[in-house]
Amino acid sequence: MKLEYFQMVDRVEAIDLERQTIRCRAQVPERSTVFEGHFPGYPVMPGTLLVETVAQCGGFLLMALDGYRRMPVLTQVVKARIREAVEPGATLRIDAEVQQVSSGIAAIEGRISLEDRRAAECEIRYRTMPFPEPALRDLVIARAREIGAPVTAAGPGGA
């Protein structure tokens, strides 16, 4: 994870395009300017960034499903529960599955686990739109390759 660059997903560990599920891994950094303010002397991963982590995990799933034709943009956090404080150095497992993909919209459910404990769970909706710039799409695909997400033609159930 590079919190300052909003790189929340380190690795795609498993993805199933038929079942429309994904599992990712992320290592919370030991040090970050984020922790200087959240909170002084008591560093804790902000809950909003846990939601962002789930959103990015789901986003990689949605892009893999439609062959990176469209870019999912967060529009709604329907539900979010932060069950446990996540401290610097923690290893996160993030799971997400598609709930709905429609014309220009998508919804996922996801959760973050710390070992066998559930730390957070979210229900997230996105608007999906064509990439505004080809260069951005190229960057996203490069990042997807870097973290081990499949970059292929559209899979089943794409947006």
Partner 1 sequence: MTAFNQETFDSVADIIADICSIDRTEIGPDSHAVNDLGIDSLDFLDVTFDIDKKFGIKMPVEQWMEEVNQGDADADEFFVMKNLVVRIEELRAAKAA
List interacting residues with partner 1 (CB under 8 A).
75-76, 100, 102-105, 107, 125, 127
Residue 70 burial by CB count (10 A; 0-12/13-18/19+): exposed, middle or buried?
buried
Q: Smaller CB distance to partner 1: residue 43 or 72?
A: 72
Q: Smaller CB distance to partner 1: residue 14 or 78?
A: 78
Which of 25, 38, 127, 137 is an active site residue? Answer: 38
Closest contact distance (angstroms) between CB of 5 and partner 1 is: 27
Q: Which residues contact residue 139 at a Cβ distance below 8 angstroms, ignoring those fewer than 6 apart?
A: none
The structure tokens 């919804």 sit at: 107
Residue 38 is a catalytic residue? yes
> Which two tokens mark 26?
């992320």
Closest contact distance (angstroms) between CB of 87 and partner 1 is: 35
Q: Smaller CB distance to partner 1: residue 127 or 137?
A: 127
Rounded distance, CA 103 to CA 94, Å?
26
Phi then psi dihedrals of residue 134, to 5 deg: -55, -35
Closest contact distance (angstroms) between CB of 36 and partner 1 is: 34
| Residues with active-site annotation | 38
